A and B are shown apart, each in its own frame.
Chain A
Amino acid sequence: MAEATKYFINGVGIISPQKTYDPNVFLTDITRYDQNVLTCIAPDFKAYINPIQMRRLSRMLRIGLSAATICLRNSRISIPDGIITATGYGFLEETAKFLQEILVQGERQLTPTYFMQSTSNALAGLVALTIKCMGYNNTYASRGFAFENALTDAMMQLNENASANILIGSYDEAAEVQYKASIRAHHFKTEYVNNLSLFNTNTRGSIQGEGSAFFMLSGKPSESTWGILDDIHQVYRPEQGALSSELEIFLRKNDVTNKSIDLIISGASGDSQHDAVLNALINTFFDDLPQARFKHLSGEYCTATAFAVWLGASILKRQQVPEVVVVDTAKIARRPGTILIVNHYMGKSFTYILLKRI
């Protein structure tokens, strides 16, 4: 079996707080939120899930299974060779439901379905079961690196067999318990802001988002290729200077310079302090490059980089950068061929992802 040398994104399916579930529509109709919690705009689930199966599924399992199905249809693959999912929060909504029953009912007469749907691998198992995929199956639950682990894993699977198709997906939900914990931990803003002016705020904290995004990754291109995933790198709690030095190594390793990059997708979250670090890095390396941001559309959550990958892949496929993501419209000049995603999660987990046009 041949080793993969490139990793092709051959399909996408994404459900997010924007109307993204139709792969043929690209951020034309933007939804505004005023209360700091951005929740998914879901399609009619009946188009993707049969009713008997649906009756017991939690909201997030419906969203996840639908996003996976959209991706499978978009990539014209009925059964992939492997399924890898990623989540930071896990199924906290179901976890909390079961927990509340335990506490309120004194550990009696509990609903088994809540428990079963609380495990982080419930979605990967559900997708496998639905399409009868017996291949490789894994789930990462690593907070700010879960989706990064999943991508790395998928790339390594393709290094063993380039012709494999690996379905990778993320999911994180804006569960009430998580939101309350995040507020307590000062991760989110306490004053209400309108998401579309997130980057005009100058306060600590971000806003809560959620979403599920699936990608079909293969070592071979197809008719439906969106773009190429070149490489990914994670930096955890960087010491002084490490963000720059690791970025330099990453760029050198992938043979790109700041001249050959056409667009930066920044994972700025609206948190004044964390964004300052990210912006300093971006300005040092790519001062004159056009820049896009996305967390005002998706909100912040552990696997938000999946939204960024979708955004990047869409820009590469359509050769169009929607105005709503552009930082400085004067700078969008070149045809996007190489995109670098620079993300941070809570100022602690940093990610570099390099995407290229096919």
Chain B
Amino acid sequence: MNQTVDELIPEIREELIKQLNLEGMLPEGFDENTPLFGEGLGLDSIDSLELVVLLDRNYGIKLKDPKEGRHVFQNIRTMAEYVAKNRAHV
């Protein structure tokens, strides 16, 4: 089960909406390159903790250092790339 980045993008997008209760809240033009934090979607540090849990639950990836998340959670594409590279193969 080796999904490519392009296959992961819609999946992560869906999971993210579910985990962070973002249904119906995505701004116009939101895509995999829109920044998740700050000016983009405007997520906060609690969301980033929820995303850590998402990676663990769905892909078996454990982020040990919260600072690592800053790079991984830039946008959906960076998340997909990180997952493709680091997911636990079962």
Using a CB–CB cutoff of 8 Å, the interface residues on chain A facing chain B are 51-52, 55-56, 108-113, 116
Contacts and interface: CB of A to CB of B under 8 A. Distances in A.
Nearest to A57: B21
Contacts of B25: 51-52, 55
A346 B22 CA distance: 42
Main secondary structure of the interface of A (DSSP, over half): loop
A113 B57 contact: no
Interface of B: 20-22, 25, 42, 46, 49-50, 53, 56-57
A55 B21 contact: yes
A100 to B, nearest CB: 15
Given A108-B56, A109-B53, A112-B46, 12 more contacts: A51-B25, A55-B20, A55-B25, A56-B20, A56-B21, A109-B57, A110-B53, A111-B50, A111-B53, A112-B49, A113-B46, A113-B50
Give me the 8 closest cross-chain CB pairs, A-B, nearest first.
Answer: A55-B21, A112-B49, A109-B57, A109-B56, A109-B53, A51-B25, A56-B21, A111-B53
Given A109-B56, A110-B53, A56 B46 contact: yes
A12 to B, nearest CB: 30
A63 B53 CA distance: 27
Nearest to A112: B49
Nearest to B49: A112
A91 to B, nearest CB: 16
Contacts of B46: 56, 112-113, 116
A110 B20 CA distance: 14
